């Protein structure tokens, strides 16, 4: 009996010790590693939190892995974005020094350097309604051209002088322009450099835009496309800086090679066409006008031959008629000189013609714009 009582006491003590060990094991299951793997309360997750998990009372609680342990509060919010339709005149847009070394070629001035791109904003697939027409279409007087050329060319049987409607394109390089005088010399229309890339505005754009209008010249704005920046970002920048004026000529996208640029990217034709389409769609939605495509022979040959058949083209051809350089392309404007001379401008100026007579010009303007209510008949 004594031995039996001793064994019973030993067995009871052993059971108590074992029960204590089991209890301690259950209490230490929520260790430091488990606590670190639990997602914070602010993180949205599809998994159950530990308090929601169904755990048998006799088993230690299992750790629940989180999808993303980073608290939402630790994620920096995106920088404030300005209204892309707000005009950036009067110092509203940031300027960079990436364009201080701009160089010019025959045709459009091209920048030498630009920063890299950001992400492209999403596009709305629905085109906006065209701008309402201005009441009372007025046909502005067409002046015969009196331009000369520092480097005259013999274009053969069909020369620029045989076209009735001449015009110019200008940028900062023409400095102060006497627009009234320039009009009497034959500038019946003017395309004015507005922007390039996604952060540069021509410093003379505002002055030229207003000066051409006050002189009674049909005017439009052009954008120099930069291949190292997203198309959507560039379209937003153009829209911020160019007024939505129903009397303006259709906007222009200038696509060409820039050998002085810091952007050495050479895109495939597929990517070139894609970026152009994004840019043009966004402008067409905003302005209600189909953009004009300006280009040069080498770029056209590499990427644009046979493309964009339903878009108007503005072709540079300073040594021959466009039919010789672009035999398969219909065109609206021909830039025939980058060395033009005229009263009202110091130095050289680009010269252009419209492909048609006076009646054709008035008809095209009437179909492409709001018909000129803001431009007084002169």
Asked if residue 75 has pLDDT above 50, the reply is: no
The pLDDT value given to residue 261: 82
CA distance 169 to 196: 15
Q: Which residues lie across from 193 on neighbouring strands?
A: 222
* Mean per-residue pLDDT of the chain: 76
- The number of folded domains in the chain is 1
Give Cα separations from 369 to 40, 133, 138 (angstroms).
58, 7, 12
At 293, give phi and psi (nearest 5°).
-105, 120
Asked if residue 378 has pLDDT above 80, the reply is: no
Beta strands in the chain (DSSP E): 103-104, 109-110, 148-149, 166-170, 189-196, 200-201, 218-224, 252-255, 292-295, 313-316, 333-341, 349-354
Average pLDDT over residues 28-37: 39
Question: Could you list the residue range(s) of the whole structural domain that residue 202 is in?
Answer: 142-368
The pLDDT value given to residue 120: 35
216, 378 contact by CB (below 8 A): yes
Is 339 contained in some domain? yes
Is 238 contained in some domain? yes
At 240, give phi and psi (nearest 5°).
-65, -25
CA distance 37 to 283: 50
- Which pLDDT tens digit goes with each residue over 112-157? 444 333 333 333 333 444 555 555 567 999 999 999 999 999 999 9
The pLDDT value given to residue 309: 97
The pLDDT value given to residue 69: 44
Asked if residue 214 has pLDDT above 70, the reply is: yes
The pLDDT value given to residue 295: 98
Strands 218-224 and 200-201: unpaired
CA distance 47 to 113: 50
* Greatest alpha-carbon span in the chain: 137
Asked if residue 302 has pLDDT above 60, the reply is: yes
Q: Which residues are catalytic?
A: 256
Give this prediction's pTM.
0.68
The pLDDT value given to residue 85: 53
* Residue showing tokens 């701008």: 131
DSSP 141: P
CA distance 62 to 351: 79
We report the CATH number of the domain holding residue 256 as 3.20.20.80
Is 153 contained in some domain? yes
Is 285 contained in some domain? yes
Dihedral angle, C-alpha 254, 260, 263, 265, nearest 10 °: 80
Is 179 contained in some domain? yes
Give Cα separations from 77 to 37, 70, 122 (angstroms).
25, 14, 19
The CA radius of gyration of the chain, in Å to the nearest whole number, is 34
Q: Which two tokens stand for residue 132?
A: 């309402």
Is 126 contained in some domain? no
Is 226 contained in some domain? yes
CA distance 36 to 17: 32
| 36: three-class secondary structure by DSSP | helix
Is 92 contained in some domain? no
More confident site: 137 or 353: 353
- C-alpha torsion sign, points 337, 338, 340, 342: positive
Give Cα separations from 61 to 25, 28, 49, 55, 269 (angstroms).
11, 10, 12, 6, 60
Average pLDDT over residues 324-338: 97
């Amino acid at each position: 009996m004594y031995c039996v009582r001793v064994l019973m006491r030993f067995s009871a003590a052993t059971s108590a010790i074992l029960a204590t060990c089991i209890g301690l094991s259950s209490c230490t299951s929520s260790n430091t590693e488990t606590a670190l793997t639990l997602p914070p309360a602010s993180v949205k997750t599809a998994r159950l939190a530990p308090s929601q998990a169904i755990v048998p009372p006799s088993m230690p609680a299992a750790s629940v892995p989180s999808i993303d342990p980073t608290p939402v509060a630790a994620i920096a919010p995106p920088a404030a974005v300005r209204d892309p339709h707000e005009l950036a005149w009067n110092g509203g847009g940031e300027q960079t020094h990436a364009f201080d070394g701009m160089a010019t070629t025959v045709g459009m001035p091209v920048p030498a350097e630009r920063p890299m791109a950001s992400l492209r904003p999403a596009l709305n697939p629905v085109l906006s309604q065209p701008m309402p027409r201005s009441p009372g279409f007025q046909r502005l007087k067409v002046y015969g051209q009196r331009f000369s050329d520092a480097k005259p060319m013999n274009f053969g049987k069909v020369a620029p002088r045989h076209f009735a409607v001449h015009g110019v394109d200008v940028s900062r390089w023409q400095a102060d322009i006497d627009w009234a005088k320039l009009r009497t010399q034959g500038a019946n229309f003017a395309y004015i450099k507005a922007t390039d890339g996604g952060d540069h505005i021509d410093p003379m754009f505002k002055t030229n835009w207003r000066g051409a209008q006050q002189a009674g010249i049909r005017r439009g704005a052009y954008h120099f496309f930069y291949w190292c920046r997203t198309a959507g970002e560039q379209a937003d920048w153009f829209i911020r800086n160019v007024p939505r004026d129903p009397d303006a000529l259709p906007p222009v996208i200038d696509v060409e090679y820039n050998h002085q640029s810091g952007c050495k990217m050479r895109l495939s034709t597929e990517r070139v066409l894609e970026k152009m389409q994004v840019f043009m769609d966004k402008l067409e939605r905003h302005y209600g006008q189909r953009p004009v495509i300006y280009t040069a022979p080498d770029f056209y040959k590499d990427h644009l031959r046979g493309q964009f058949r339903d878009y108007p083209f503005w072709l540079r051809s300073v040594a021959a008629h466009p039919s010789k350089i672009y035999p398969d392309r219909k065109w609206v404007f021909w830039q025939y000189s980058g060395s033009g001379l005229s009263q009202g401008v110091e130095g050289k100026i680009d010269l252009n013609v419209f492909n048609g007579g006076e009646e054709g010009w008035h008809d095209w303007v009437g179909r492409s714009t709001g018909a000129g209510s803001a431009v007084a008949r002169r």
